Structure 1
Amino acid sequence: MSVMRQPSMPGPAHPGLDGYRPVQPVPAAQRILDSGDLFTAGREVLIQHAEEFYRLRLTRKGKLILTK
C-alpha cells in the first residue's frame, strides 16, 4: 500500500542575523530560556556545571560567548 505525503512546509520563521529562516521544532523534554531573562541584571551570568563555573557574556553585537 502506498502512502501519499504532502510536501513539508517550513515552520514559522524568526529573524536571524542572516535574514529569516525556519524555526526547528523543539523536543518536549527541552526547556527554552529566553536570553533576555538571563541578562536582566547585566550583560554577564555565571553558570555552575558540576564543580566548574562558566561565564556567559552578551556582546555589544548581541552574540553570546561562553568561557570557562
Structure 2
Amino acid sequence: MNAHVTAPATSLPLHDARTLTQGGIQAMIDLDGQTYFLRITRAGKLILTK
C-alpha cells in the first residue's frame, strides 16, 4: 500500500489511516517535536490526541 496518495478531486494529500497504523489501531504522529496519537475506534472513527 502507498502511504501517500493524491486525491483525484483535489490537490490535498490523502493518507490512509490503516496504512499509518500499519494495520493496527494506533499510530504516533510528530509535529514540530510534539507527539500526537492517532487511534481508530471500534466504531471506525478517528481520534487524535496529544
TM-score normalised to structure 2 length: 0.70
Structure showing greater Rg: 1
Structural RMSD (CA): 1.3
| One-letter amino acid of the counterpart of residue 60, structure 1 | R
Instruction: Give deviations 1:22-49, integer Å, cap 9, x for gaps.
Output: xxx32x2x21111221122410000000
Equivalent residues of 2:18, 2:25 under 8 A apart: no
Query: Which is bigger in relative contact order (C-alpha 8 A, separation at least 6)?
Result: 2
Q: 1:41 to 1:34 in 2, by over 3 A?
A: closer
Instruction: Give deviations 1:2-32, integer Å, cap 9, x for gaps.
Output: xxxxxxxxxxxxxxxxxxxxxxx32x2x211
Q: Which runs of 4+ in 1 moved over 2 A?
A: none
User: CA separation in 2, counterparts of 1:47 and 1:39?
Assistant: 10
- Name stretches of at least 5 consecutive residues in structure 2 with no aligned partner: 1-8
Match of 1:56 in 2: 38
- Name stretches of at least 5 consecutive residues in structure 1 with no aligned partner: 1-24
Q: Of Structure 1 and Structure 2, which has the larger fraction of its residues in strand?
A: 2
